[in-house]
Amino acid sequence: MRNTALYFTAPRRVEQRTEPCPAPGPGQVRVRTLISAISPGTEMLIYRGQMPQALAADETLEALAGALAYPLKYGYAVAGRVTDLGAGVDAAWQGRLVFAFQPHQTCFVASVESLLPVPEGVPPERAAFLPNMETAVNFLLDGAPRIGEKAAVLGQGVVGLLTTALLAQFPLTALVVYDRYPLRRETARRLGATAALDPAAPDALEAAREALGARDLYDGADLTYEVSGNPQALELALELTGFAGRVVIGSWYGTKRAPLDLGGRFHRSRIRLLASQVSTLAPEHTGRWSKARRLSVAWDMLRAFPAEELITHRFPFAQAAEAYRLLDERPEEAIQVIFTYA
């Protein structure tokens, strides 16, 4: 059986390569892909050649153990159906709809331990949002929003919108978001943001401070999330955050640097910067939380939230190059882009 896989081969170049899709071995199954979702933050860094190439792609995932270097087979949001079983695999796996942290490809072989059965009532398109929903859940665990707080989210891509949707379930005083693109700002308002602002507007900072009810220079958001992927936004996050506030940095900037002014208001404001990354759990949570518990919560959120409504474009897998050009050249048109497989 043959597999067609997507490879990033150079900056702004992708190609599809045909390779074997072997028979499953003991404890393994073969899966036919139905849907895979592009993660625009991470994948666009790879597409543009802005990833640190000495770093491992993801040491916690079986399918992404190699280095971030071209040629690179990448991706981590696949929904598919089990077609073949290896020796020792329970027959209940046959035909099962599963989620896998696998690159974009038409089929693959994986151990059953690395697969996640998709819960009843969650369609494949929604299941493909699992990594981003788990990331949003992790952001809330790390940021720990509290009743009556004022929150801000910088960046309303897929992860930013999911974070906004989860925060909107809390009894916050204000939930202010920033994004450059009208489509995303309007979506954020629909999901519960109390104000959605353009960071390029001349009065962007003043409008946000007004929406947050800031009374003086040291007042502002209690909790700010920087998830735009733009290192320049981190300075704005600090300016929005009030005395003793928390800034959760969910963005991965790759090789891009984040210039910060830490000499004035930041120092006196006792603002805390928190890095949040989904491949691990913060040590303060591990007494009560495990990755399995966090994943279970992410599935629960997907049962309740129709994430597939965030899909703006569906590309046949053969047209993958067009999908990446869209995200690179016309990002204002897109939120979630997925590949469909015949």
Give the pLDDT confidence of 132-155 residue by residue, as tens digits. 999 999 999 999 999 999 999 999
> Is there a single domain that holds both residue 235 and residue 260?
yes
- pLDDT (mean) for 308-312: 98
Q: How confident is the model at residue 64 (pLDDT cuts 50, 70, 90)?
A: low
Residue whose structure tokens are 């897998």: 317
> Is there a single domain that holds both residue 109 and residue 139?
no
**Residue 53 above 70 pLDDT?**
no
Give the pLDDT confidence of 227-259 residue by residue, as tens digits. 998 888 888 999 999 999 999 999 887 777 888
E strands, the chain, in order: 2-10, 13-20, 28-37, 78-85, 97-100, 107-111, 115-117, 150-154, 174-178, 195-197, 221-226, 241-249, 272-275, 311-316, 336-340
The proportion of the chain whose per-residue pLDDT surpasses 90, expressed as a percent, equals 81
Provide the residue range defining the domain that includes 184: 132-283
Give the pLDDT confidence of 106-125 residue by residue, as tens digits. 999 999 999 999 999 899 99
> Is there a single domain that holds both residue 52 and residue 121?
yes
CA 134 to CA 226: how far, in whole Å?
A: 17
> Is there a single domain that holds both residue 138 and residue 123?
no
- Tell me, yes or no, whether 300 lies in a domain: no
Give the pLDDT confidence of 249-289 residue by residue, as tens digits. 998 877 778 888 787 788 888 999 999 999 999 999 999 99
- Tell me, yes or no, whether 64 lies in a domain: yes
- pLDDT (mean) for 8-33: 96
- Tell me, yes or no, whether 294 lies in a domain: no
Residue whose structure tokens are 């974070």: 163
**Residue 60 above 70 pLDDT?**
no
Q: What is the domain-level CATH number for residue 105?
A: 3.90.180.10
- Tell me, yes or no, whether 121 lies in a domain: yes
The tally of domains found in the chain comes to 2
> Is there a single domain that holds both residue 99 and residue 143?
no
**Distant-in-sequence, close-in-space partners of 75: CB < 8 Å, separation ≥ 6:** 6, 36, 38, 39, 43, 102, 103, 104, 105
Q: What is the pLDDT of residue 214?
A: 87
- Tell me, yes or no, whether 318 lies in a domain: yes
Q: How confident is the model at residue 40 (pLDDT cuts 50, 70, 90)?
A: confident
> Is there a single domain that holds both residue 93 and residue 141?
no
Q: What is the pLDDT of residue 59?
A: 52
**Distant-in-sequence, close-in-space partners of 342: CB < 8 Å, separation ≥ 6:** 316
> Is there a single domain that holds both residue 209 and residue 142?
yes
Give the pLDDT confidence of 185-223 residue by residue, as tens digits. 999 999 999 999 999 999 999 999 999 988 887 899 999
The mean of the pLDDT values for the chain is: 93
- Tell me, yes or no, whether 293 lies in a domain: no
> Is there a single domain that holds both residue 211 and residue 248?
yes
The residue among 283, 299, 322 that closes a domain is: 283
- pLDDT (mean) for 78-103: 97
- Tell me, yes or no, whether 298 lies in a domain: no
Q: What is the pLDDT of residue 252?
A: 83
> Is there a single domain that holds both residue 192 and residue 212?
yes
| 225 bridge partner residues | 153, 248
Residue whose structure tokens are 């040291």: 218
Q: What is the pLDDT of residue 54?
A: 58
Q: What is the pLDDT of residue 56?
A: 53
| 6 bridge partner residues | 16
- pLDDT (mean) for 15-28: 96
CA 33 to CA 320: how far, in whole Å?
A: 15
- Tell me, yes or no, whether 71 lies in a domain: yes
Q: What is the domain-level CATH number for residue 177?
A: 3.40.50.720
